[in-house]
């Protein structure tokens, strides 16, 4: 086996003063939301990206929408984790559902929560769901990437055993593993952001409702399925039907939705 990289000695606590502690994971959420808010305002303030179409939101409405997005991410992410990944535990201890600080969030649940929040916010301001989701699709990948880096710092959601030269020896192990969190940070964060940005800035995706969110759903779904081959599944679930994992199964509908949104957007402008 080739030499592996020792896990860097990084504390999960970004700030710890007295009894007050701020986790890197929490900072990742805050940083991702702040970037998304700033970036979304840039998008709706640039008429060239809309090709004569009226922007979905005014810059002043972005902050209002983010309250809805935040509630959708937190509530959906938490209840998605409870439902998809550990239902038996929370059936026995239902009050633990509300202990978000103990960890346990699901991207797919958070995605569904944002969809629901976007639908109701779109109705409130008189626009369609796909137009609201397009702005979210363009702005949230950076937050996803930061969240995966925080997963790496927390030494959680790590990968399967590996003898690749970039394998990492995580705490408690004496062998290397795929740093699957870094794979996801690159694919779900950097690659996804650049792909959707290319669609919005070069190919006018914002003028075709559903196109940016279609690319987001398709690329994220494929990236997640790919990384699941290198990632250790949740211990309480394991593998489903051979080599399939819960992450793969939940990502398949995203791929289908992405293809449908792209097909649907082809004549919409």
Q: Answer with the residue of higher pLDDT: 92 or 37.
A: 37
Q: What is the pLDDT of residues 34-78, one digit of tens each?
A: 999 999 999 999 999 999 888 998 998 998 888 888 888 888 888
- Residue 135's closest CA among 78, 75, 64? 64
Task: Please tell me the predicted confidence (pLDDT) of residue 52.
Answer: 87
Are 36 and 66 contacting, i.e. CB atoms less than 8 angstroms apart? yes
Whether the pLDDT of residue 22 is over 50: the answer is yes
Q: What is the pLDDT of residues 175-201, one digit of tens each?
A: 999 999 999 999 999 999 999 999 999
SS3 at position 240: strand
Distance CA 100, CA 113 (A): 16
Task: Please tell me the predicted confidence (pLDDT) of residue 97.
Answer: 74
Whether the pLDDT of residue 80 is over 70: the answer is yes
- Residue 158's closest CA among 145, 148, 147? 148
Whether the pLDDT of residue 105 is over 80: the answer is no
Interval 106-110 mean pLDDT:
81
Which letter does DSSP use for residue 168 in this model?
Answer: E
Interval 90-119 mean pLDDT:
79
3-17, 87-101, 186-200, 201-215: lowest mean pLDDT where?
87-101
pTM of the full predicted structure? 0.87
Distance CA 40, CA 37 (A): 5
User: Taking the C-alpha atoms of 190, 192, 198 and 201 in order, what is their torsion angle to the nearest 10 degrees?
Assistant: -90
Q: How confident is the model at residue 1 (pLDDT cuts 50, 70, 90)?
A: very low
Q: What is the mean pLDDT of the chain?
A: 89
Q: Are strands 13-17 and 20-23 parallel, antiparallel or unpaired?
A: antiparallel
Task: Please tell me the predicted confidence (pLDDT) of residue 8.
Answer: 92
Q: What is the pLDDT of residues 212-234, one digit of tens each?
A: 999 999 999 999 999 999 999 87
């Amino acid at each position: 086996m080739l030499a592996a990289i020792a896990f860097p000695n990084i504390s999960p606590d970004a700030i710890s003063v007295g009894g007050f502690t701020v986790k890197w994971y929490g900072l990742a959420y805050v940083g991702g939301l702040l970037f998304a808010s700033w970036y979304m305002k840039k998008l709706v303030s640039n008429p060239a990206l809309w090709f004569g179409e009226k922007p979905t939101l005014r810059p002043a409405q972005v902050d209002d929408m983010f309250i809805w997005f935040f509630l959708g991410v937190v509530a959906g992410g938490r209840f998605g984790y409870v439902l998809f990944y550990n239902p038996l535990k929370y059936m026995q201890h239902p009050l633990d559902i509300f202990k978000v600080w103990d960890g346990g969030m699901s991207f797919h649940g958070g995605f569904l929560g944002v969809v629901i929040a976007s639908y109701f916010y779109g109705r409130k301001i008189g626009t369609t769901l796909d137009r609201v989701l397009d702005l979210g699709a363009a702005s949230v990948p950076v937050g996803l990437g930061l969240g995966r880096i925080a997963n790496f710092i927390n030494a959680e959601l790590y990968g399967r055993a590996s003898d690749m030269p970039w394998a990492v020896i995580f705490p408690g192990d004496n062998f290397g593993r795929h740093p699957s969190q870094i794979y996801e940070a690159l694919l779900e964060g950097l690659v996804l952001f650049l792909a959707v940005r290319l669609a919005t800035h070069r190919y006018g995706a914002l003028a075709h409702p559903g196109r940016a969110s279609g690319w987001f759903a398709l690329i994220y779904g494929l990236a997640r399925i790919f990384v699941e081959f290198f990632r250790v599944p949740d211990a309480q679930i394991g593998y489903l039907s051979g080599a399939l994992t819960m992450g793969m199964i939940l990502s398949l509908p995203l791929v289908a939705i992405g293809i449908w949104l792209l097909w649907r957007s082809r004549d919409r402008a």
